[in-house]
Chain A
C-alpha cells in the first residue's frame, strides 16, 4: 500500500477540518499528519490485505483525528460496515468529524470519549485496531475488561520504540514484547518497520 486515495470529497472535508483547527489545535492537527503517521497506517492496511482479512465492525482505540486510517480502511475493505473511535481527548471529536464528515453523515463513523483501559467498549466489534499502544497500559487489560462482550475479535496492534516523548509511556523493543503485552494467543502476523522519523514501529495481528 503506497498511497491514500485523495478524492474531491476528502479534499472538501480536510479543508473544513483544517479551517476548524484554530489556536492550539492547529499544531496538534499538523502533528497528526506527519509522514510517519501515514506510513504506519499504510503498512497496517497492506498487511491486512495480504492476510485477506475482512473486518466488519471495527473498534479503533485512541485513533486521534483518524484522518488517514478511516478512509484507508473504507477504501480498501468493502466488508467494513462501521468504525468507532474510542478517544480520551475531547478535542478530537469535533475535528475528527470534520475530517471524516462523509463517513459520519453516512452513519459509518463515530467518536466516543472513553478511556478503554478503564471502561468497556461497545459489544459486537469483530476487529480491534490500536496504533497507539505506546501511549497506554498493556493491551491485555483491555482484553480482560471486554472478554464478556467481544467474541474472539481480531487484534491489530502497533507500538513503537520511540521513547523520546513524555506520552510514550509504554514503548516496546520488539514485536515479541508487544505480543507478550497484548495477551494475543494466536499470532497471524508480527513484524517491524523503520519509519521516516527513524523510529521502529512494531505490529502484531492475532486473536
Chain B
C-alpha cells in the first residue's frame, strides 16, 4: 500500500490506549487502504517502529518534541509507503482522511493555526513564540522532508538551544508569514481547528466546541495538564 499514516508515542504522557484509539479512528475515517505505524520508544505491537535515539545525546533540557521529526527520514526507518500522513495522538478525526492523500503534493503540507492572530505571531517572531505553524498534522510524500531532517542534523545544538518547540523552529526556517516563499503548503481555513483555541481568528474562536464540518480537531494546549482526560471524555461522544 502506498498510503501510510504515522503517529509517535514517546514517554508516558499518552498511554497505549491513545495509539489504539487513533488507529481505530483512522480505520473508521479513511476510505482508502493505508498502512499504520507508531514510532515509539517502547514497541509492543506489530505496527510499532522503534523510535531512533541518535539526537538524544544532544538533550539539553530544551529538547523533547523534536523526537517526532525522526519520522522525516522514513526511508531509513524502513516505513512502508509513498504518501505519508502524520497525526498527533491527541486528535479527533471528523471526516474522511482520503482528503489528505488526494492533496496536490508540489510541497508537503502542515497546519497553519488559523485561530492565531497573525499580527501577534509576527510581533513575537523574534521572541521565539506565538508561531502560526502547528506540526500536529503533516502530509508529505516520500523523501520530501529529508531536507528538514538534514537541516536539524547539521545544526542540531544551535536548533535545540534556540527553538524550544518544533513549531517555532519550522516557522523560522520553513514557513513565510509574510509571503509565498514557504517550504510547506498549509491546510486551508476550516480543515483543522483547535479544541482549546478555536477555529478561525477573529470570527470563529469559541473554544471547546466540536466542529464536525472540519476534518480534524487538535487538542494542542501548550502542555497544560487536563487535556488528556478531556480528550478521553470526547472519544465517546
Contact = CB atoms under 8 A, between A and B. Distances in A.
B44 interface: no
B70 interface: no
Nearest to B126: A89
Contacts of B129: 166-167
Contacts of B155: 118
B162 A88 contact: no
A194 B33 CA distance: 65
B123 interface: yes
Nearest to A25: B123
A91 B155 CA distance: 25
For chain B, give the interface size range: 10 to 19
B127 A166 contact: yes
A141 B158 contact: yes
Contacts, number: 46
Contact of B122 (A91, A135, A165, A169): A91
A90 B125 CA distance: 9
Contact of A88 (B120, B126, B177): B126
B108 to A, nearest CB: 21
Contacts of B213: none
B158 A24 contact: no
A23 B127 contact: no
B23 interface: no
Contacts of B122: 24, 90-91
A136 interface: yes
Most central of A23, A24, A28, A87 by chain B CB within 10 Å: A24
B128 A169 contact: yes
Interface string A105-140: 000000000010110000000000000000111000
B158 A137 contact: yes
A141 B158 CA distance: 9
Nearest to A89: B126
B121 to A, nearest CB: 10
B201 interface: no
Interface string A17-55: 000000111011000000000000000000000000000
Nearest to B120: A24
Interface string A71-104: 0000000000000000111110000000000000
A136 B162 contact: yes
Interface in A143-197: 165-167, 169-170
A27 B120 CA distance: 11
Contacts of B177: 90
Interface in B93-133: 119-120, 122-123, 125-129
A142 to B, nearest CB: 10
Contacts of B161: 137, 169-170
B162 A169 contact: yes
Interface in B125-183: 125-129, 155, 157-158, 161-162, 172, 177-178
Given A167-B128, A169-B128, A117 B162 contact: yes
Nearest to B151: A118
Contacts of B125: 88-91
Nearest to A168: B127
Contacts of A62: 126
Contacts of A118: 155, 158
B184 to A, nearest CB: 17
A87 B126 CA distance: 9
Contacts of A117: 158, 162
Contact of B123 (A24, A88, A136): A24
Given A137-B157, A169-B128, 17 more contacts: A23-B119, A24-B123, A62-B126, A88-B125, A88-B126, A89-B125, A117-B158, A118-B158, A135-B126, A137-B158, A137-B161, A137-B162, A165-B127, A167-B126, A167-B127, A167-B129, A170-B161
24 contacts: A23-B119, A24-B120, A24-B123, A25-B123, A87-B126, A88-B125, A88-B126, A88-B172, A89-B126, A90-B125, A90-B178, A91-B125, A117-B158, A118-B155, A118-B158, A135-B126, A136-B162, A137-B158, A137-B161, A141-B158, A166-B127, A166-B128, A167-B127, A167-B128
